[in-house]
Structures are given as C-alpha cells and as structure tokens.
Amino acid sequence: MSTSMTPRSSVPRQAGPDQAVRGNGHGILAAPPGMPQSPLEESSRRSRWVVGILLAVALLWTLVPLLWMLLSSFKNRTDVTSATPQVLFAPTLDNYRNLFTGSNNLGPYIWHSVLAAGISALLAVCLGALAGYGLARTQMRGKKHLAFWIISTRMAPIAAVVVPLFLIFRGLGLIDSIPGLVLAYLTFNLPFAIWLMSAFFAEVPASLEESALVAGCTRWQAFRTVILPLTKSGLVTTFVLCLVFAWNDYAFAVVFSGPNSQTLPIAASQLVTQTGIDWGQLTAIGTIVVVPMMLAGLAVRRWLVTGLTLGAVTGE
Amino acid sequence: MAHAADSSPVLRQAARPQSSAPKEPRVGFEGRMMTPGLILLAALSIVPFLALIAMSFSRVLLLGGVRLEVIGITNWVRFFTDADMWMSWLRTIIYFVLTVGLEMALGVGIALCLYRVLRGRNILLSLLLLPMFAAPVIVGLLGRYLTDSTFGLYAWVLRSLGYTGDILGSPVSAFAAVVLMDVWEWTPLIALITLAGLSSVPQSVREAAAVDGAPAWMTLRYIIFPAIANVLLVALLIRSMDAIRYFDIIWVTTNGGPADATKIVPIRLYETAFRFFDLGYAAAIGLAMLAFSIFIARTFVRLLDTRGLTR
C-alpha cells in the first residue's frame, strides 16, 4: 500500500481516495507519489486505522472469554472466585486432577462423548456419501421434493424431535444407551451429511465417471476408485462438522442420557448444583470440551464455508 | 426428464448422456446408493413426525408402559388459548430478531474489515471463528461465570463503569445477556460466509468503481451489497434455522427466568415435556415450531433453485 500509482496493490482501499484526488482537480496521475500530506494517503491511512481498531475490538470481544476460561482453569479455589480479577497467580493443575480422581471421574464421560459423537459422525459420513452421490447424480422425478425432505429434517427444531423420540426410545429401551444417543445424533447428522456430500459430488464432473465406465469399470468401481478419492476433503469436512455438532449437543443428551451414557456437556452442566458451583472444575471441563473441537474445526477451515452453508456458498 | 436438471445445488451437474447409462433396473444405481441412508432417515424422521402428530391429539401416559389416550383437540385448544404461550412466542420473536439481526450486522461489519486486511487475514479469521466451535452449553456456563455479580470478569468491568445490578438476576439485563452470548458464539459464522461472498466479487468491478471515483460507501451500497446479496441471504437463512434450534445457552444460564423473561418457546416445550411430563401438549408446541422451521427451509431451497448463487 504505497501510492496512488499502484492501484492493484491496494484495490479495496481505492474508492474513497480517488474521489479526494479528483476533488483536487488534478486527476489520478497528478497525485504526488510518496507525499504523506496528499489527501489520498491521509484518507487511506485513516480508514486503515479504523479497520484496525474495529478488528482489535472484535478480537478482544471474541477471545477474552475463551482466554479467561483457560486461565481460570489453572486457578486455585480462592483465585477463581476472587472479587477482583486475578491475572497473575500461581498456576495449579488441581482442577484437572480433581476432574479425573474421586467419585465423579470424568473419564467415562469423555469415552461416552467420543463414542456417541464419533460413531454417529462416521455412520453419517458413510451413509451420507452413498446417498449424497445418488442424490447428486440421479435424474429421477421428484428429486426436488426428496432434496427438500432431506434438508427439512436437518432443520427441524431439536425440541420438536426430542419429544416423539423420547416416547419411541422409551418403548424400545434406548434411553440411557450409547446406541440411543447415536440414533438421536443421526437425526441431524444424517440429513446434513447427505445434503453436503451431494453438494461436494455435484462439483465433480460427470465426465470422469463416464471415462471410467468406458475403461470398463462398473458404476460402483467408478464411484469407489475415481469419485470418492476426489472428494476426500468433502468427506473429512463432513465428518468433522458432524463430529462437532454431536460432541456439542446438549438438548438431546439431557433427555436421553443417564449414568451409562452421560456425555461431557451434561457432566459440565451437572457441576452446577444447589450448593454452589466449583468454577475451577467447570472452566477445566469447558476447556476439555471446547479445545478439541476448535482444533478439528480449524483443520478444515478451507471448506468450512461450503460445509456450514450446506454447499450453497463456496469459499476461497 | 431433462427438465429436472436445473439449478438446485444437487441438480447442477452436467446432464449425463443417456447413451452412457448402462441398462439397469428401475431403481438404478443412484437409487441403490441412496437406499440405506434414506431408509434410516425415514425411520428417524417420518416415524417421529407421525408420532408427534398422534401425541398432539392424546394424553401420553408413561407409567406402566407407554400409552396414548386419545383426547381430541384438547391440547390444541390449550395451545391457542394459553396466554403464557403467546408471551413465549412473542419473546421468541424478539429473541430471534435481536440475535439474528445483531449477528448479521456485526458479522457483515467484521467481514468488511477483514476483507481490507491483506496480510494476516487467515490467522485473524481463524481466531475470530473460534467461538463457533464451542459447545453452546459451555458458552452458557462460561457466560454465567463471567457475569456473576461477585466474581465475574464482565460484572467487574461493568461495576467499574457504574453498573452494579445482578446481570442474570433482572429480566432486561438477563435477556440482553443471553442474546449477547448467542451473538458472541454465532457472529463469526456470518462473518465467515460474508467474507466468502466478498472474495467472490470480481476485482475488476471494484477497480472500475474506484476509477470512476465512487466514494467508499457508494461502492459498498451499489456494487458490493448487490453482488453479495444472495450470499447474505444464505447466511441469514442458515442462521435463522439454527437460532430456533439451539436453546442450550438459555437453558443453563437463566432456565427461562427471571420471571419468565427469557422463556422462549423451546424452553417452555422442554419444561412442559420433561418437567411436567405433559408430552401431548409438548407435541402440539413442537408441531407449531416445526411448521415455522419448514417455512424457512422452504425459502432456503427455493432461493437455491431460483438463483445461481456462487457455485
């Protein structure tokens, strides 16, 4: 971002400054390059400052709660509930240690969360890849209605799904079991995976399969050896997003899980008791719940836009 | 059937020449691929949907085996005459408009700022996206910690600015707090989608505007916003659908209180179903919510169908 002579290097910032130059009565070329006093330089510098300040505020607003959670998880009992915020303190691992020892060991809950979220994400991706491919390539009548039905099951309010599922699961004895949770998570992960994978498959030109078919592959072989490897990033993105949705679930687990299937978010909410809250342990659980999903999410950042808009918008 | 291959996202591939399709049974390869997923999805959606309808016309007995006792439209009469219920809908709409509105405004603002950053944009974006991946229940609990009137960080900041009230203890500030927690978590999503839209605006268009001497706000109003209108609409719809799906934050912070100030419809439904075990009435509420979300889904799909969007 140097002078008005190089508009390409500073495209987004050009609009305002040029107006200023024109107001000068000289036109673009007349603006003396490198002169700090020129209206162009001044205006673009000001807008750069504004952008910088706004982004700094956004960063603070975004990160302070997360950093505070991380910090607090290393504080002892008095520091964590001190009336004046403690930034410098003697760090301790007690909160994490307490989570994994004693009667309320967190270990099983982590295992339940991993199982329920992992299995449901895996099933969703496998079935979603098959069905998504079919949906992307089929030319059947009523395809639109099919697609709409799939997306509307993804968008159904959790509260409206939980009530009948509760009744059905109670009849089938699926309350307080990992399979029950997996099925509950599939109600939103499966339609999501089908729709998203179909968007990824639609990006792959059909001519590729045709050449594979001409080369003597069966449809399945063409799918398995030609198409699927091309959508690897789609498969990974779908898996990660399904995992995040299921891992973060509270609304289903609070109804369906019990001692044998309690997940991490439930364990966290159960630290809130009538007698008070151990905020040290709670921030520690929070960190354990949040950090893995953040890492997983950022790992697929390139495809996040596609994933989270269900393929309606592509990024980068 | 060529007319089916129009612009919906799942339909947008080039039409495959008929000749290359091997002779296959009626269902076809695509059909067989879809079967397992769709059967499971049908079991997970149509069965509960029918159960929901049946429940809404019944009294649901849970003790001694699950039984439905048909009671006609009693639940629905109650639904339409329940004054508390109407208040909940009103609150839901206010909550919905505030959260989604703020998220759209702030998200677009952040995206516009980010778009001007040339160096380090990726790392900035990654940091700003973090809240999106946090479990809403943790966001709620963390919010509770930050706003605690004796040791909360934000309460302390507000105290030094002269505000001493209990944030989650009084109706207005509690409502504002749960709205802001949702805004904190989901603004990044809007920023992310908007930024993708901005990046797809051809540079030549902006340059042309710049050379013509258009002021920044005019470029924004007449060049940028029209170009990303579709993307913004997608962001709005995606966010709208999830805004009525999630209620975890309210559930663990105020649980609908104080004095029902944050009792939006899904909270009331949960209370009805799993605290009072009136599953029939809860089913009626659930169906009403479902109708609302199907309306949004319909709009979303129609939008994808009629406009090309970015792909």
Q: Which residue has the higher pLDDT, B15 or A205?
A: A205
Q: How far apart are CA A265 and CA A197, in angstroms?
A: 28
Q: Which of A51, A309, A315 sits opposite B238 (nearest CB)?
A: A309
**Residues spanned by CATH 1.10.3720.10 within chain A?**
103-308
* Span B76-85, average pLDDT: 88
Per-residue model confidence (pLDDT) at position A66: 95
**What digits encode the pLDDT tens for the residues B113-131?**
998 888 888 899 999 999 9
Q: Measured in whole angstroms, how far is the alpha carbon of residue A104 from the centre of its chain?
A: 29
Per-residue model confidence (pLDDT) at position A154: 87
Q: Give SS3 for A189.
A: helix
Strand A276-277, strand B58-61: pairing: unpaired
Q: Is the pLDDT of residue A10 over 60?
A: no
Q: Is the pLDDT of residue A44 over 80?
A: no
Integer CA distances (angstroms), A261 to A109, A252, B168, in order: 7, 12, 31
Q: Is the pLDDT of residue B189 over 60?
A: yes
**What digits encode the pLDDT tens for the residues B25-80?**
566 888 888 889 999 999 998 999 999 999 999 888 877 777 788 888 888 988 88
In chain A, whose CA is at the least distance from the CA of B55?
Answer: A164
A55-69, A73-87, B236-250, B290-304: which is most confident: A55-69
* Least confident window among A140-154, A167-181, B58-72, B149-163: B58-72
Contact B33, A130 (CB under 8 A): yes
Per-residue model confidence (pLDDT) at position B26: 60
Per-residue model confidence (pLDDT) at position B58: 87
Per-residue model confidence (pLDDT) at position B284: 92
Q: Would you place residue A89 in the very low, low, confident or very high pLDDT band (cuts 50, 70, 90)?
A: confident
Q: DSSP characters for A3-68?
A: -TT-GGGGGGG-HHHHHHHHHTTS-GGGSPTT-TTSHHHHHHHHHHHHHHHHHHHHHHHHHHHHHH
Residues on chain A touching B130 (C-beta within 8 angstroms): 62-63, 66, 294, 298
Outline where A215-263 has alpha helix (H): 219-221, 228-230, 232-247, 251-256
Q: Which domains does chain B have, with CATH numbers?
A: 83-306 (1.10.3720.10)
Integer CA distances (angstroms), A170 to A1, A187, B39, B50, B281, in order: 65, 17, 21, 16, 18
Per-residue model confidence (pLDDT) at position A23: 37
A186-195, A204-213, A302-311: which is most confident: A186-195
Query: What 8-state DSSP symbol labels residue A160?
Result: H
Mean pLDDT, all residues of chain B: 83
Look up the ipTM and state it.
0.84
Q: Which CATH architecture has domain A103-308?
A: Orthogonal Bundle (1.10)
Per-residue model confidence (pLDDT) at position A42: 63
**What digits encode the pLDDT tens for the residues B202-217?**
877 777 777 777 777 7
The interaxial angle of helices A39-72 and B136-146, nearest 10 deg, is 90
Q: How far apart are CA B220 and CA A126, in angstroms?
A: 43
Strand partners, B69: B59
Find which of B124, B133, B309 to mutate to test the A interface (most A CBs within 10 Å of its CB).
B133
Q: Is the pLDDT of residue A151 over 90?
A: no
Q: Which of B37, B44, B49 sits opposite A131 (nearest CB)?
A: B37
Per-residue model confidence (pLDDT) at position B133: 95
Q: Is the pLDDT of residue B2 over 60?
A: no
Q: Is the pLDDT of residue A33 over 70?
A: no
* Span A289-311, average pLDDT: 91
Per-residue model confidence (pLDDT) at position B233: 87
Residues on chain A touching B45 (C-beta within 8 angstroms): 149, 153, 156, 187, 191
Q: How far apart are CA A35 and CA A4, in angstroms?
A: 10
Per-residue model confidence (pLDDT) at position A316: 53
A147 touches B at CB < 8 Å: yes
Residue B39 has which token pair? 């059967």
Q: Which of B45, B251, B269 sits opposite A153 (nearest CB)?
A: B45
CB contact under 8 A, B251 and A250: yes
Per-residue model confidence (pLDDT) at position A12: 41
Amino acid, res. A106: L
